[in-house]
Amino acid sequence: MWQRRERWYGVPMTNLRLEELSAANVVAANGMTLKRGQEAFLAANAKLEEFVNTQSAWQRVIFDGDEPVAYVMANFDPEVDREEYRSSILRMYVAGEAQRRGVGTFTVDKVAEEAKRLGFDSVYAVWEEDDLGPGNFFQAVGFEVIGENEYGESIGRKSL
pLDDT tens column, 71-119 = 999 999 999 999 999 999 998 888 888 888 899 999 999 999 999 999 9
Share of the chain above pLDDT 90, in %: 47
- Does the pTM surpass 0.75? The reply is yes
8 vs 90, residue with greater confidence: 90
Tell me what pLDDT residue 2 has. Answer: 43
Is the confidence at residue 37, as pLDDT, over 90?
A: no
Q: Is the C-alpha dihedral spanning 29, 116, 101, 16 positive or negative?
A: positive
Is the confidence at residue 69, as pLDDT, over 70?
A: yes
What is the overall mean pLDDT for the chain?
Answer: 82
Question: What are the structural domain ranges in the chain?
Answer: 16-125
Class of domain 16-125: alpha beta
